[in-house]
Amino acid sequence: MGPRSHHLSLSFSVSGLGFLLLLSLLPECLGAEGRLAHKLFRDLFANYTSALRPVADTDQALNVTLEVTLSQIIDMDERNQVLTLYLWIRQEWTDAYLRWDPDAYGGLDAIRIPSSLVWRPDIVLYNKADAQPPASASTNVVLRHDGAVRWDAPAITRSSCRVDVSAFPFDAQRCGLTFGSWTHGGHQLDVRPRGTAASLADFVENVEWHVLGMPARRRVLTYGCCSEPYPDVTFTLLRRCCAAYVCNLLLPCVLISLLAPLAFHLPADSGEKVSLGVTVLLALTVFQLLLAESMPPAESVPLIGKYYMATMTMVTFSTALTILIMNLHYCGPSARPVPAWARALLLGRLARGLCVRERGEPCGQSRPPESPPSPQPSDEGVHPPAVPCHEPRCLCHQEALLHHVATIANTFHSHRAAQRRHEDWKRLARVMDRFFLGIFFSMALVMSLLVLVQAL
């Protein structure tokens, strides 16, 4: 073995010895840090109490900074007007009795200890809607050498929220979360928000609600129970996402409302005109009941409720008009003739405008009004002979034949006049059907567009 190899082996031996020496000293270092942390903990909490405000001067107010992060909207119970949220709440304050010199403890500048060991501000949710008492989260606090305490705790809150459903489902609700001290007034504990709004960085998107922002506002109020002011911080949020309600409640009603006027287009002989109107009315009633179950009792009727009521009123009137028009259609031959004003206005001008024509008649032209048939000559002056005549070429035989022919002609004319009156009433019913079809279809279309425009 040469000198070069001997030198390499010697260097590897020295490196190995150094590595082993470091490994042996590492537990000693870690143990020293742990011992310093235990010593710091014993020194800090030897004479410490968590029952009193940690201020050097009792007349001095303790500043608490509040930061809220919205993580999830769990539920919005509109009927009971309760909002359930999952929040991360961070509170920061300065404890005057928990300070140390980091150099005296090996450079240790922060420790994490259970939150139950230190004084904590009694900040609660003022508009809490839960019967259970507030439970403190068993999380640690971060304690720094200058006395700064940071307490991060998750919380599921149930808060009361006044729900205004007048514009449902295109409403924008404003639900507030008001945090403040329950027993300390503004001269003892001052609550301030961190920043101008809550954080939405970790927000889980909700299918029903859009959160456009969660601004924070600090207020100082004086309550009737106490003379000193109480500061609080209010976070306001929420706007509804109406896509689910448009698909589930609004679009079916729009389609049903557009189907209702088609009852005027059904032939009267089908026997289903009134049945269609009643079926549509029952379907709208079912949707109205579904809507009423999810809406809270309110003084103002929701927008979709107004639309349902307007549509149901329109369907009711259309069904009533359908019954009246069917009475016109089934006027028998014994009915009176169509009045002259209805013949001129409805069977004349309106029929041409609505393109209601007879079979084979071009659109825009209508059958000219026919005058009632002129009375046929009476055969009162023709009398058959009282005594039978035996003469083959006697004029009495011709008079008898004329009498029978006149009777047949009068019967034919009477039947034709009755048939013509019946056709006139049926044609009048078709004109009225076409007229109300346009009127009610336009009404349904305009109402539906007015409601759907709100979603844009």
Q: Are residues 222 and 332 in the same domain?
A: no
What pLDDT, on the 0 to 100 scale, is given for residue 417?
A: 65
More confident residue, 438 or 169: 438
The band of 90, judged by pLDDT with boundaries at 50, 70 and 90, is: very high
Q: Are residues 184 and 255 in the same domain?
A: no
Say yes or no to pLDDT of 350 above 50: yes
Say yes or no to pLDDT of 120 above 80: yes
Q: Which tens digits make up the pLDDT trace of 172-197?
A: 788 889 999 988 888 899 999 998 88
Are 33 and 102 a contacting pair, CB within 8 Å? no
Q: Are residues 329 and 421 in the same domain?
A: yes
Say yes or no to pLDDT of 5 above 50: no
CATH number at residue 311: 1.20.58.390
pTM over 0.75: no
Q: Are residues 167 and 44 in the same domain?
A: yes
Q: Are residues 104 and 48 in the same domain?
A: yes
Say yes or no to pLDDT of 80 above 80: yes
Handedness of CA 313, 315, 317, 319 (dihedral sign): negative
Q: How far apart are CA 190 and CA 148, in angstroms?
A: 16
Q: Are residues 310 and 175 in the same domain?
A: no
CATH number at residue 221: 2.70.170.10
What pLDDT, on the 0 to 100 scale, is given for residue 135?
A: 56
Q: Are residues 224 and 310 in the same domain?
A: no
Q: Determine, yes or no, domain membership for 366.
A: no
Q: Determine, yes or no, domain membership for 391.
A: no
Task: Please say which residue of 217, 241, 265 terminates a domain.
Answer: 241
Q: Are residues 256 and 230 in the same domain?
A: no
Q: Determine, yes or no, domain membership for 194.
A: yes
**Which residues span the domain enclosing 297?**
247-352+408-454
Q: Determine, yes or no, domain membership for 28.
A: no
Segment among 57-66, 81-90, 229-238, 274-283 with least mean pLDDT: 229-238
Are 253 and 283 a contacting pair, CB within 8 Å? no
Q: Are residues 132 and 193 in the same domain?
A: yes
Q: Determine, yes or no, domain membership for 417.
A: yes
Percent of the chain surpassing pLDDT 70: 75
- Taking residues 75-100, report their average pLDDT: 90
Residue 287: closest CA among 301, 305, 263, 274: 305
More confident residue, 46 or 344: 46
Segment among 284-293, 400-409, 428-437 with least mean pLDDT: 400-409
Q: Are residues 88 and 132 in the same domain?
A: yes
Are 143 and 40 a contacting pair, CB within 8 Å? no
Q: Are residues 265 and 413 in the same domain?
A: yes
Segment among 39-53, 185-199, 340-354, 374-388 with least mean pLDDT: 374-388
Q: Are residues 254 and 211 in the same domain?
A: no
DSSP 8-state secondary structure symbol assigned to residue 128 = B
Q: Determine, yes or no, domain membership for 15.
A: no
The band of 270, judged by pLDDT with boundaries at 50, 70 and 90, is: confident
Q: Determine, yes or no, domain membership for 14.
A: no
Q: How far apart are CA 89 and CA 66, in angstroms?
A: 7
Q: How far apart are CA 307 and CA 224, in angstroms?
A: 44
Task: Please say which residue of 212, 241, 270 terminates a domain.
Answer: 241
Give the C-alpha distances (Å, rounded to integers) separating 443 from 83, 84, 247, 255, 439. Answer: 38, 41, 22, 13, 6
Task: Please say which residue of 197, 219, 241 terminates a domain.
Answer: 241
| CB environment 67-89: b (16+ within 10 A), e (fewer) | bbbbbebeebebeebbbbbbbbb
Domain count, the chain: 2
What pLDDT, on the 0 to 100 scale, is given for residue 430?
A: 84
